[in-house]
Structure 1
Amino acid sequence: MLAAAALLVSGCEGLGEHESSAGSGPAAPDGRAVSPLKNPDGTKPGLAPVATDADKAAAGELIGELSTKGRGPRTGYDRDRFGYAWMDTADGVPLARNGCDTRNDLIRRDGQNLRYRAGSDCVVIAMTLHDPYTGTTVEWRKQQASEVQIDHVVPLSYSWQMGSSRWPESKREQFANDALNLIPVEGRANSAKGDSGPASWLPPNKQIRCAYAVRFAQVAVKYEMPVTEPDKQTMLKQCGG
């Protein structure tokens, strides 16, 4: 199922240690962001809108495949159940075991104008980020790390309540470090999301809500994870279904 999903296709954490300013714009396009339908493994940057009728139809088909169930209890959930953050040793996901931790891999994937710590080609200390969730541009500095956070599109706690509590630890580590499920975004938006599913929270930037729904669905399909019925219906609605 993992291979098939690749063809189809909880609150999260700050970037590290805490200068940034955010400027608003209608979509803050950077010219690099890729539609999730053209980025099935998550290795390309950003989250571009799903705009054409054909792509929205494809999005609806993908979301329609999702199975549904009620959200279970959070009993026993702990971030450590998904491995330490941000491990480079989670096998079976893109960007693993490349000598750079997951956090910095994602900054390098989505950030522009990167500046590295002296002597390192991994640790980013400054960048420009065009945040798809808010349509703003963030000039990020490591001294104010929480201005940008790494969002798990499908939150870890959500996955726990939908069945990952029964997964082997290795699968949870993959899930927590899979580039498909991770997007650097404006910190306040990520904090507002918490561990919500799409029925409870959607990105403030309406232009990418269908793309967000597609990415949520891609992750759920890849990991054979159900979503709640309200979440599925909300996702379909974002893509015109």
Structure 2
Amino acid sequence: MKSRTLGAVCTAVLLAVVVTGCSGSKDDKGEGKAGSGTARAALDALAVKQAAPKAGYDREGKFGRAWSDKTDAPGSGNRCDTRNDILARDLKNPRNDGSSACVIASGTLDDPYTGKKIKFQRGTGTSSAVQIDHVVALGQAWVSGAQKIGQRQREALANDPLNLIAADGPANGQKSDQDASKWLPRNTAFQCTYVARQVAVKKKYGLTVNAGEKDAMARVLKTCPNEKLPVDGGTGVALKETRK
């Protein structure tokens, strides 16, 4: 009798485990569904499309003069070029050179891409140690839908603080215009933030992702499923989706 009772209990427990395992909010891959407001949810909503040819890409012709202050980005119109705006935002103890309220002459960067500290000093042969990276590279934006948005939106994208970050010069050069399937920051602690910023930019400007890129982004965000979608570029002004 004890053997039959024990067998019945085991069977009941097994059935309960099976039933429990089949319930709950799970997607078809057995993973929890992305929560509202997360980068994962925004990634799922992006259109997936093969990258377009890069023909016709021209940095100044299609995205405007580098570091122009002519932008729809929050905080624009302060008469400081975008490069110095981002240096002022991202460097610790940024200092002016005395010649202009805009020009940042020195400071320290906790580089998000490599994890190292970089002493920035403005000057020939030293300024390039810290570069301003387009999180979604302009060449990559061009092949993922920027060809179809207006000039005004492209110039905004090129100067939007959401899409700009001060970073190690060599790391930025290594990245070039590669998407997340081909390049991610060496500093793994920053990868979730980096991918979330890319997703936010692509959502804001109506850009697409290719299949490999989406898979790479999803792998990163799987490690941080609650990573929030950034809402601004460090200005405190809410992100708004740009319409075509």
Superposition TM-score tier, normalisation by shorter sequence: 0.7 to 0.9
How far apart are the structure 1 equivalents of 2:182 and 2:87?
27
Q: Is the 8 A contact 1:95 1:102 kept in 2?
A: no
Matched position secondary structure for 2:222:
coil
How far apart are the structure 2 equivalents of 1:180 and 1:206?
20
1:240 corresponds in structure 2 to 222
Q: Is the 8 A contact 2:132 2:166 kept in 1?
A: yes
Confirm whether residue 135 of structure 1 aligns to residue 108 of structure 2.
no
Within-5 A mapping of 1:200-219 = 200-219=182-201
How far apart are the structure 2 equivalents of 1:100 and 1:57?
32
Within-5 A mapping of 1:1-241 = 58-80=38-60, 81-90=62-71, 92-143=72-123, 144-240=126-222
Moved runs in structure 1, 4+ residues, more than 3 A? 54-57
Deviation per residue, 1:163-202 (Å, 9 max, x gap): 2122211111000000000001000110000100000000
Q: Higher relative CO (CA 8 A, sep ≥ 6), structure 1 or 2?
A: 1
In the superposition, the TM-score normalised over structure 1's length comes to 0.74
Residue correspondences, number: 187
Q: Is the 8 A contact 1:56 1:239 kept in 2?
A: no
- Percent of aligned pairs with the same amino acid: 40
Q: Is the 8 A contact 2:39 2:200 kept in 1?
A: no
How far apart are the structure 2 equivalents of 1:104 and 1:183?
11
- CA separation of 1:221 and 1:57: change in aligned 2, threshold 3 A: closer
Matched position secondary structure for 2:117:
strand
How far apart are the structure 1 equivalents of 2:48 and 2:97?
45
In the superposition, the TM-score normalised over structure 2's length comes to 0.73
Q: Is the 8 A contact 2:113 2:190 kept in 1?
A: yes
What is the identity, as a one-letter code, of the residue corresponding to 1:113?
N
How far apart are the structure 2 equivalents of 1:179 and 1:112?
17
Q: CA RMSD in A?
A: 1.7
Larger radius of gyration: 2
Q: Which runs of 5+ in 2 are unaligned?
A: 1-33, 224-244
Q: Which runs of 5+ in 1 are unaligned?
A: 1-53
How far apart are the structure 2 equivalents of 1:231 and 1:137?
29
Matched position secondary structure for 2:38:
helix
